[in-house]
Amino acid sequence: MSVFNAIIKSLKANITTIIVYLAIFTVFGNMQAKATVSTQETTFEEAIIRVAVTDNDKSQLSKAIVDYLAETQEVVDPKTDNPQVMNDNVRFLIYDYALIIPEGFEEQIKSGNAEDALTYIVPGTTMSQYLLTQKLNDYMQDIVIYLNSGYSEEEAIDLTHEQMVELSKTQATVIDEQEENHRSFFTGMFTFNGYTMMMLLCICGACTLTFMKDRDVSNRISVSGMHFFTRNLATIAAVFFIGFVITTVVIIVIQLMGMEYANDKLLYYAIDTYTLMFVGLGMAYFICSLTANENLINMVANMFVLSMSFLCGVFVDTQYLSDSIVKAAHFMPLYWYTTAIKFINDTPINNIWSRQFGTYLMIEILFAAAFFMAGMIISRKKEQYAI
């Protein structure tokens, strides 16, 4: 018990490091998660937008389009026909949408060519803008169809106008129920957690193990009469206890920060995170076998973890990485952690516990075992050759 207590007390030297990384996690992890969150509860409802219209044609048909917009949207006068100025006004949100009806518009529609008849400025950046563009295209296509069917221009305008105004009274609501099309807040937080937790476990674990290798500490323990097996068991228990506490604290922080979001998959996220804990502790043991210098431990841990975070989808989603980088990432444990997180996010809760999910966890465990074995081999060789 004395060895266990000594190791826990040695953790006080890393309190500042733990606080710094937790602060980074709570601030930047929360920002990233909220910026990318998209849930099934999020729906789209069509809204009335502010439209600036410049009518350079002054024809019967162009006036009909302006009247249609006035009945269905909020029409404003841009007081300019300069496309650059109108574009700037849209981008600075003076109005949401700009439309220029060019000279000769009516003649082009009468000839049966409705394509590129109008000039849109910044359309389609929102769903409401995109829908308005579609409605205007439908308006012109309907005019062409009526004209080709033998209706007069006045009749074509009246019929189209009546139908399009009636259609605008129907509000469009879109709900995407496919889980793979949404990214939950918890997916964002647990993904960013891959960097935070690996850094905490590597630095705290390695520094704690280094503390036990200190010659003065080792001599004091050896003269205490404690059995070799007991000493090592206490060391292992203390390191795993530290890892468990850090992992649990991180999970609790995520749960508290995500209370506004519904989540029924926390158990599976936690299982993947506790599995990553073994990887972090294994890497800590491996780094500790390389050096006992705390500055070098920090440097090596940053080099390993930061590299993996960029290559394995923690900071940049793997869909934006090249195929060669993704293939290389398969040989890194964080890739399988983030892949498991994506699998949890994209899979209905009843289907998560599966062979595929188990495979991801098993690969992480194998990486942890590999790090422990590599550390043991290096430690044995250093002891054998008195390095």
User: 34-43, 69-78, 144-153, 157-166: lowest mean pLDDT where?
Assistant: 34-43
pLDDT of residue 42: 47
Task: Indicate whether 176 belongs to any domain.
Answer: no
pLDDT band at 10 (very low <50, low <70, confident <90, very high): low
Q: 119 forms bridges with which residues in the sheet? A: 100
Same domain, yes or no, for 143 and 192?
no
Is the pLDDT reported for residue 377 higher than 50? Answer: yes
Query: 139 and 259 share a domain?
Result: no
174, part of any domain: no
**What's the pLDDT tens digit per position in 311-370?**
998 988 888 888 899 999 999 999 999 999 999 988 888 889 999 999 999 999 999 999
192 with 152, same domain?
no
**Contact indicator for 146, 159 with CB cutoff of 8 Å:** yes
Q: What is the pLDDT of residues 42-59, one digit of tens each?
A: 455 567 888 988 888 889
Distance CA 154, CA 9 (A): 88
Query: Of 135, 169, 203, at which residue does a domain stop?
Result: 169
Residues 236, 367: one domain? yes
pTM for this prediction:
0.62
> How far from the centroid of its chain's Cα atoms is residue 273's Cα?
17
In the chain, what percentage of residues exceed pLDDT 70? 81
Residue 55 forms part of a structural domain: yes
The verdict on 284 and 135 lying in the same domain is: no
58, 191: one domain: no
| b/e 340-371 (16+ beta carbons within 10 angstroms → b) | bbbbbbebeeeebeeeebeebbebbeebbeeb
Q: Considering the domain boundaries, does residue 368 fall inside one?
A: yes
Kindly state whether residues 55 and 123 are assigned to the same domain.
Answer: yes
DSSP readout, 256-295?
Answer: HHTTTS--S-HHHHHHHHHHHHHHHHHHHHHHHHH---HH
Task: Write the single-letter amino acid at 92.
Answer: F
CATH number of the domain encompassing residue 155: 3.40.1710
**pLDDT digit string (tens) for 328-343?**
999 999 999 999 999 9
Listed residues 129, 146, 169: the one ending a domain: 169
Query: Which whole number is the average pLDDT over 188-201?
Result: 89
In a domain? residue 318: yes
Identify whether residues 101 and 194 lie together within a single domain: no
Could you tell me if 123 and 197 lie in one domain?
A: no
Contacts 24+ apart (CB under 8 A), 359-363: 360/272, 360/336, 361/271, 361/272, 361/275, 363/333, 363/336
Segment among 43-52, 85-94, 97-106 with least mean pLDDT: 43-52
Strands (E) located in the chain: 44-45, 50-55, 74-76, 97-101, 119-121, 173-174
Q: What is the domain range of residue 128?
A: 50-169
Residues 55 and 36 in one domain: no
Residue 298 lies in a domain: yes
Domain tally for the chain? Answer: 2
Asked which of 121, 142, 169 is the last residue of a domain, the reply is 169
Measured from the Cβ of residue 238, the count of other Cβ atoms closer than 10 Å reads: 21
Could you tell me if 14 and 143 lie in one domain? no
280 and 136, same domain (yes or no): no
